[in-house]
Amino acid sequence: MNGLRTNLLNSRTPQRIELTEMGFGGAPLGNLYRKVAEPDAQAALQAAYDNGIRYFDTAPQYGLGRSEERFARAIKRFGRDTIHLSTKIGRLLLDCEPDEVTPEAFVDVPQKRIVFDYSYDGVMRSYEASKARLQVTNADILFVHDVCAFSQGSQEASDARVRELFDLGGYRALSELREAGEIGAIGAGVNEWQVCEKLLGLADFDCFLLAGRYTLLEQEALESFLPLCEARDVGIILGGPYNSGILATGAVPDAKYNYQDAPPDILERVRKIEEVCSAHSVPLVAAALQFVLGHPCVKTVIPGAVNAAQVEANLAVLKTSIPAAFWSDLKSGGLVRQDAPMPENRTCYAA
């Protein structure tokens, strides 16, 4: 079986990081919203590896370390040097009393509480703790996690976290780790492209993990952010191509758009996209996932999975053949921006 196509993260970093066009997002294996049995978690990771996925992303937040620990068991089977691995800084996991546990959106978590810390010491402590949980000596990519307004609760809180990152030495720590060759690339994992654009104005970042915000329904990032990434040779890892649901489910009752009920205008737009999908016999979910890969800055998409069947389904979506006429009809119908790069004639397999 041929391997998945790979894309070079960027051409600037000393370490050459080539990511498979589909990666594995580790949030669900932290028991996001529901408990995932250990055999299912390991089967999902193994299915990803067996099908050619070689990029795995996780974070301390995901299950308060549980996702990283599950990754460790799989990495031991795979061999560390056969994959690319990313994790994140910004949250320290501290021992606490039972009533102090901060599970956020995760269930069945260890007895830990989260403390946000973007200082020099916080970055180093977080990275060392992640390496211990992952049972590895390094990560390939280290992301600043959740300095965006969505995660912090307000724009003011986001601005304060960004200031903390620079004023308290967090960025300096990341830069030192990169310069020492401890990590290959540094970036930020966030929910909004606007904070990425701000970070690029402040320092040298290699890549960003963006949870959506460049999708079939949202292309405002084409106005300034993605052109800036092209000019600066910055790679994008796309974490959420479905706008939190509606581009996977379609315009069904209670469809979710960016974690809320989809408003009428979005429902109507999705219905029109579904009409084009129907005319070309293209599944909406495949169109949504493959659309984002049409932009040259988007190097990989990283949907999550909680069992082997979901991994297989994700790969089937990636491999679905979509005719060029489908993408042309989306543009001619005004359903995507005219300047949106389209994934015509792409292939998911390495030559």
CATH superfamily label, 18-332: NADP-dependent oxidoreductase domain (3.20.20.100)
Q: For residue 296, what are its two tokens?
A: 């040259």
Closest alpha carbon to 189 in 26, 7, 10: 26
* Residue from 49, 55, 57, 242 carrying the catalytic annotation: 57
pLDDT of residue 247: 95
195 touches 202 (CB < 8 A) = no
Q: How many helices (H) and strands (E) does the chain have?
A: 13, 14
pTM: 0.95
Whether 204 sits among the annotated catalytic residues: the reply is no
The string of DSSP codes covering 255-321 is -EETTEEPPHHHHHHHHHHHHHHHHHT--HHHHHHHHHTTSTTEEEE--B-SSHHHHHHHHHHHH--
Q: What is the dihedral of CA 272, 278, 281, 282, to 10 degrees?
A: 30
* Residue from 49, 55, 88, 299 carrying the catalytic annotation: 88
Burial of 341: CB neighbours in 10 Å, binned 0-12, 13-18, 19+ = middle
pLDDT of residue 259: 84
The string of DSSP codes covering 6-19 is EEES-SSSSS--EE
pLDDT digits (tens, 9 = 90+) for 220-275: 999 999 999 999 999 999 998 998 889 999 999 999 998 899 999 999 999 999 99
pLDDT of residue 1: 43
**What's the full length of the chain, in residues?**
351
- What are the sequence ranges of the domains in the chain? 18-332
pLDDT of residue 240: 83
- Beta strands at 207-210 and 235-238: parallel, antiparallel or unpaired: parallel
Average pLDDT across each block of 10 residues of the chain; the chain has 351 residues. List them in order: 85 95 97 97 99 99 99 99 99 98 97 98 99 99 98 97 99 98 98 97 98 94 98 96 92 91 96 98 97 97 95 96 97 97 71 44
Whether 121 sits among the annotated catalytic residues: the reply is no
Rounded CA-CA distance 69/71 in Å is 5
* Residue from 62, 127, 214, 257 carrying the catalytic annotation: 62
Question: Which stretches does DSSP call E strand in 90-227?
Answer: 91-95, 112-116, 141-145, 185-190, 207-210
Whether 81 sits among the annotated catalytic residues: the reply is no
Query: What sign does the dihedral 25-30-36-38 (CA atoms) show?
Result: positive
Rounded CA-CA distance 192/253 in Å is 26
Give the position of tokens 């061999």: 79
115 touches 92 (CB < 8 A) = yes
Rounded CA-CA distance 240/327 in Å is 20
pLDDT of residue 2: 52
